[in-house]
Structure 1
Amino acid sequence: MSGSANLNVMIKTARAAGRQLVKDFAEVEQLQVSRKGPGDFVSRADTAAEQLIREALMEARPTYGFLGEEGEEHHGEDPTRRWIVDPLDGTTNFLHGMPHWAISIALEHKGQPVAGVIYDPAKDEMFWAEKGQGAYMNESRLRVSARTKMADCVFATGLPYGPSKHLPASLQDMARLLPACAGVRRWGAAALDMAYVAAGRYDGFWERGLNAWDLAAGIVIAREAGAFAEAMDARGNILEDGSVICANDGIFEQFAKVIRNA
């Protein structure tokens, strides 16, 4: 893999965190059958992975800021650059012993993600991109799907759990979309959903109620593979809004119209 020094640091760090989490994942599979269950263990694994990532990135770039899911935000001496990290995207999958989870690391410059890495250790798939340099999975160049008919397309989403204010709107989205497409998948890892759009595995993805660390790396990877990505409000900022509509260039307008109920 060839990329900038920053990207190489991100990839190296993601692999190191992946090795640690794979060991923890093997323990989770054993804990599934215990009376206590794996919940507390997974929480510790998540926190430990973020600590590893934070230390590696801050050592490499001590002036950059850092925003992660588990710890407090660090404001760096350089106010224009910030790492945005989800150390374990798909925690519930991890908790239940399902091998569909990832490490997500993005670099933000002046409020925009400019480099992203999403690493799926269970499948050894490293999705990565830098702004203006294209997107890749391991050594292969990524390109979004070429489908242009809604009836042929498979989309992905995430459904909220518990008493979420986003549940009614999400269910209404599904009710409008399902009759118009070939299917909707809900695999429980937003970062991988974005990466799969980039790889052409999904034709599009949408979700409400997300955080910056769920989306930042996926935005740059999907866009560099040819996808369009916008907030639910087309004029909004995805990372601030916490919602996203992402799809290949040929289906985006049709897809966004359905989701926005326009």
Structure 2
Amino acid sequence: MGRPLGALLLRSNPFAPQIIRFIQNAIPTKIRAGFPQLIKKVVLIMHPMLNIAVKAAIRAGKLIYRAGDNLDHLTVTKKSHADYVSEVDRAAERIIIEALHDAYPSHAILAEESGAQGQSEYVWIIDPLDGTTNFLHGVPQYAVSIGLQHNGVLTQAVIYDPTKNDLFTATRGRGAFLNDKRLRVSKRKEMADSLICTGFPYSNMEHMDAYLGVFKDVMQKSAGLRRPGAASLDLAWTAAGRYDGFFETGLKPWDMAAGCLLITEAGGMVSDLKGADTFLQSGHVCAGNPFIHPQLLEIIAPHLTPGLKA
């Protein structure tokens, strides 16, 4: 699948040998047998800030993956209804923040567990373990998500799935990738042929009735509806064309920042439930390819309550 990683990196990055060694050492031992294949698939030419985020995500992913072998021994705290945090979430977040601050000490941080830190035109938006409930139950559908905003505009994105060695990356204006494969959203044009993804409201039930109305309509009008339980991966899979569309309410910026950039860089569309670009502020998101996105909005529209329109 293309030229060797080393040759391409050496052309584009003087630190290529260090990067290759770092990625190799970061892969968990029990899946290192697949490393030669991964090496051929890793995104080859990256923005410097994306390089730092990738290294941080892989290091955090390594920690999470190993912790999955000892789930019974983890310390878990319940933050709210159906919302949990483990010592693994916190440790992974520390790894990421330390790596980013070592490289960019003046940058601000917005992270799920530690909140907002600092003020800067650059803001890193971090979910160290998206899909914590899945992880705690041994369900291999979770990811590390890191996005970067510059003056309020999403510019870099990393989503790393340590269970599959899937590394999703995007830089604004440079496209989106899964390892070394350029991503494009699906080409399906009809809702009746489309596979749609969603996420159930899990802690804030304020919009549950409206959501269930949308859920019912989409289920009846699409080819299928899925709810895997990790919004960052749901968005990444939409960018990869595995899903044709996605919608969810009540998300936080760290759930969707990186995934939304992946979708737009893969040729897709992202908005709130009204079609506006305030999804990071509202927490309500609708995404998909250019054909399915407007059809999803049309299905959603009759169910919008004043709260979902705000």
Q: Distance in 2 between matches of 1:200 and 1:71?
A: 33
- Following TM superposition, by how much is the alpha carbon of 1:54 offset from its aligned partner in structure 2, in angstroms? 0.6
- Following TM superposition, by how much is the alpha carbon of 1:261 offset from its aligned partner in structure 2, in angstroms? 2.5
The aligned residue for residue 244 of structure 1 is: 285
For 2:45, give the aligned amino acid.
S
The 1:200/1:71 distance shift into structure 2, 3 A limit, reads: same
Render the CA deviation track for 1:173-216: whole Å, top value 9, x for unaligned: 11111111001000000000000000000000000000000010
The aligned residue for residue 14 of structure 1 is: 57
Question: Is 2:104 aligned against 1:67?
Answer: no
The aligned residue for residue 46 of structure 1 is: 89
| Structure 1 unpaired stretches of 5+ | none
Q: Distance in 1 between matches of 2:297 and 2:126?
A: 27
- Following TM superposition, by how much is the alpha carbon of 1:252 offset from its aligned partner in structure 2, in angstroms? 1.6
Q: Secondary structure at the match of 1:258?
A: helix
For 1:216, give the aligned amino acid.
A
- Following TM superposition, by how much is the alpha carbon of 1:46 offset from its aligned partner in structure 2, in angstroms? 0.5
- Following TM superposition, by how much is the alpha carbon of 1:3 offset from its aligned partner in structure 2, in angstroms? 1.1
Detail structure 1 runs of 4+ shifted over 6 Å in the superposition: none
The 1:206/1:139 distance shift into structure 2, 3 A limit, reads: same
The answer to whether the 8 Å contact 2:160/2:166 transfers is yes
The aligned residue for residue 82 of structure 1 is: 123
Q: Distance in 1 between matches of 2:111 and 2:265?
A: 23
The two structures, once aligned, show a CA RMSD in angstroms of 1.6
Aligned residues: 254
Q: Distance in 2 between matches of 1:16 and 1:27?
A: 18
Q: Distance in 1 between matches of 2:296 and 2:274?
A: 14
Q: Distance in 2 between matches of 1:186 and 1:38?
A: 27
Q: Which has the larger radius of gyration?
A: 2
The answer to whether the 8 Å contact 2:128/2:145 transfers is yes
- Following TM superposition, by how much is the alpha carbon of 1:113 offset from its aligned partner in structure 2, in angstroms? 1.1
The answer to whether the 8 Å contact 2:204/2:250 transfers is no
Question: Is 2:260 aligned against 1:219?
Answer: yes
Partner of residue 152 from structure 2, selected from 111, 115, 120: 111
- Following TM superposition, by how much is the alpha carbon of 1:259 offset from its aligned partner in structure 2, in angstroms? 1.6
Question: Is 2:186 aligned against 1:145?
Answer: yes
Q: Distance in 2 between matches of 1:234 and 1:116?
A: 22
Partner of residue 24 from structure 1, selected from 52, 67, 87: 67
The answer to whether the 8 Å contact 1:42/1:95 transfers is no
| TM-score computed with the length of structure 1 as normaliser | 0.93
| TM-score computed with the length of structure 2 as normaliser | 0.79
Percent identical pairs in the alignment equals 42
The 1:212/1:163 distance shift into structure 2, 3 A limit, reads: closer
Q: Distance in 2 between matches of 1:234 and 1:174?
A: 18
Q: Secondary structure at the match of 2:86?
A: helix
Q: Secondary structure at the match of 1:104?
A: strand
- Following TM superposition, by how much is the alpha carbon of 1:169 offset from its aligned partner in structure 2, in angstroms? 1.4
Task: For 1:161-172, list aligned pairs within 5 A.
Answer: 161=202, 164-172=205-213
